[in-house]
Amino acid sequence: MQVKTMAEMAANGETPEVLFWVGCAGSFDARAQRITKAFAEILHKAGINYAILGKEEACTGDPARRSGNEFLFQMMAYNNIQLLNAYNIKKIVTACPHCFNTLKNEYPELGGNYEVIHHTTLLQQLIDEGKIKLKEGGSFKGKKITYHDSCYLGRSNNIYEAPRKVLEALDAELVEMKRCRSNGLCCGAGGSQMFKEDEPGNKRINIERTEEALATDAKVIAAACPFCNTMMTDGVKNKEKETEVKVLDVAEIIVTEIA
C-alpha cells in the first residue's frame, strides 16, 4: 500500500488533512494489522489526504500509565508531543480507543493539544457525507451483528452511537447484548490486564463477555478496538465457535461493503 509518512510529506512541503495514528497493536500485531490495512483502504477510497508517522511513531504510553509507571508514561508522552508539534499536527484519527483516549484526554496537560477522532466517528462522517457509499444487499444482508462497546470508547468518552450508526448503514440486523452501552462489560484487556497473568477468580472476563455475545445468536461480533478484538476472538475460540462466529473490526466490515 502506498501510504505516505509525515517525514515524506514534510520534505515535499505538504500537509495532510489528518494523521492516522496506527498504534502498537495496529503496527505489530498480525491480527490488528488487518484492521489497519482495512481502515487505510477506506481512507484511500474516500479520497482523504492522510499520512502516518511510520518508524517515528512510538507507543502513547497508555499501558505504562495504566500499570502504574507514571515516569515512563510522561517520558513517552513528552517525546510524542515534541514530534507531533514539530510537524504541526492538528487532527489525528486512530483505530485504537486506548490511543484515542490518551491522545485526546491526557496529552493536553503535557502540551499536546490536537483534534482526536476515533475511526468509527470518521467512518460515520464519511457515510453521512456520501464520501463512501455502501452496496445494497452486501454480504452482511440479513445477518445478525452484535457490537461490543470498548471501555475507552464508551464509558470513558461517551461514544456509543457512531459505531452503531455505521453498522446500521449495512442491511444487517444489529442485536444488543444484555450488557451494552454505558452498562457494557470490559473485554478483559483494559488496565494493562492484557499483558499480565490472570488474578484469582472463577471465570476469565473475556469468556463471560463472549458468552453474552454468543447468547445474541449473532454471526458477527463487531469490535472497534484491537484489544477487544483479541480478547473476543480468544473467547470465541475457547467456545469452539470460530467457524460459525466471526470477530471483526467495524472498518473490516465496511471495507468489503463499499460500492
Judge whether residue 137 has pLDDT over 80.
no
Tens-place pLDDT, residues 216-249: 999 999 999 999 999 999 999 999 999 999 999 9
CB 230 within 8 A of CB 31: yes
Judge whether residue 149 has pLDDT over 90.
yes
pLDDT above 70 covers what percent of the chain?
100
CA distance 188 to 195: 11
CB 148 within 8 A of CB 179: no
Cβ count near 241 (within 10 Å):
15
Q: What pLDDT is attached to residue 190? A: 81
Q: What pLDDT is attached to residue 25? A: 95
List strands edge to edge, sheet with 18-21. 50-51, 18-21, 91-94, 115-118
C-alpha distances in angstroms, 218 versus 28, 135, 173, 176, 259? 29, 21, 9, 9, 24
Confidence of residue 125 (pLDDT cuts 50, 70, 90): very high
C-alpha distances in angstroms, 151 versus 23, 43, 138, 257? 17, 25, 30, 27
Q: Is this structure's pTM higher than 0.75?
A: yes
Q: What pLDDT is attached to residue 228? A: 96
Tens-place pLDDT, residues 187-218: 998 877 777 787 888 999 999 999 999 999 99
C-alpha distances in angstroms, 60 versus 33, 156, 192, 226? 18, 17, 13, 15
